[in-house]
Amino acid sequence: MRAYLGIDVGSVSTNIVVLHEEGEVLASLYIRTRGRPLEAILSGLAEVYGLIPPDTDICGAGSTGSGRYLAGVMIGADVIKNEITAHAVAASMYVPGVQAVLEIGGQDSKIIIMRSGIVTDFAMNTVCAAGTGSFLDQQASRLNIPITDFGELALSSAVPVRIAGRCTVFAESDMIHKQQMGYKLHDIINGLCEALVRNYLNNVGKGKEILSPVVFQGGVAANAGIKAAFERALKLPIIIPRHFGVMGAIGAAQLAREEVEKAGATRFKGFKVAGLPYRTSSFECGGCPNNCEIAEIYEEDKVIGRWGARCQRWDVM
């Protein structure tokens, strides 16, 4: 059984997917990164190996996300791509002709505009997390409600309360004020969903022409209240793919397949890497006024990758 491996290493979660050559997801894994991406990658590889059929032949591997270089050198990735490309490729696989991709994760969000299968524009959140999943997590904790109940409660509201969602600090104080005024809990929750969507469209989606089909992916897509709020704001139907939470990893696996088909061979080291000792370190290069901070990773006692330099001085061949 021929398949391809995709890894998406983010600040909040690490997602791993094994994709059959015909596009079916054989195994998927969502684990918390918890600030330790190296450990998350190793434990994730060991776990996903136990989920796939024993006759699975991994013909290629790809990595994406903020930790894509770390993951790429560890597994011997055939392709290391940014999140925009990976999410766009995955969305196109499940919704041919997609023209807008809304992606909201734990601490970042992005919008991708596509025309005729090509990315024509994109944007990401910069300094504020008010339009991300962490915004809802904070408010759910404040209200003492499981985040999994947010969507159902929001859908039961007929009159959302307008809450200032431009900043998480202002949103929390405004939410408390609305509680003290006696507004119903499900109306406040619906208002929080609308605040997140309003923040996203006013900041990340500002100036973008959002046309149908629109695909919504990322962990926040599990929240039915956010989906409904997007549909009200855009006046367009929102499509949520089956594997919405691991679309970046799916895109990385598909990109690896395309790369291997061109190259004719894979650099994937195999799942044995999960049992090898790895460590990371960093140092400051004083070779020029840039003073680049160089990060490096060791496999056993051998340096297998470095990044952070503005020149080729520290490249590992």
CATH of the domain at 67: 3.30.420.40
Do 254 and 228 reside in the same domain of the chain?
no
Confidence check: pLDDT of 130 > 60: no
Do 235 and 259 reside in the same domain of the chain?
no
pTM of the full structure: 0.88
Structural domain harbouring 283 = 278-307
Question: 131: pLDDT confidence band, cut at 50, 70 and 90?
Answer: low
Confidence check: pLDDT of 165 > 80: no
**Domains identified in the chain, total number:** 3
Q: What 3-state class would DSSP assign to 125?
A: coil
Q: Which residues pair with 298 in a beta bridge?
A: 279, 303
Q: What 3-state class would DSSP assign to 46?
A: helix
Do 223 and 134 reside in the same domain of the chain?
yes
Question: 129: pLDDT confidence band, cut at 50, 70 and 90?
Answer: low
- Which are the contacts of 126, defined by CB distance < 8 A and separation ≥ 6? none
Is 312 inside a domain boundary?
no
Do 142 and 225 reside in the same domain of the chain?
yes
Do 180 and 233 reside in the same domain of the chain?
yes
Q: What 3-state class would DSSP assign to 31?
A: strand
Read out DSSP for 154-216?
A: HHT-SSPPP---SSHHHHHHHHHHHHHTT--HHHHHHHHHHHHHHHHHHHTSTT----SSEEE
- Which are the contacts of 302, defined by CB distance < 8 A and separation ≥ 6? none
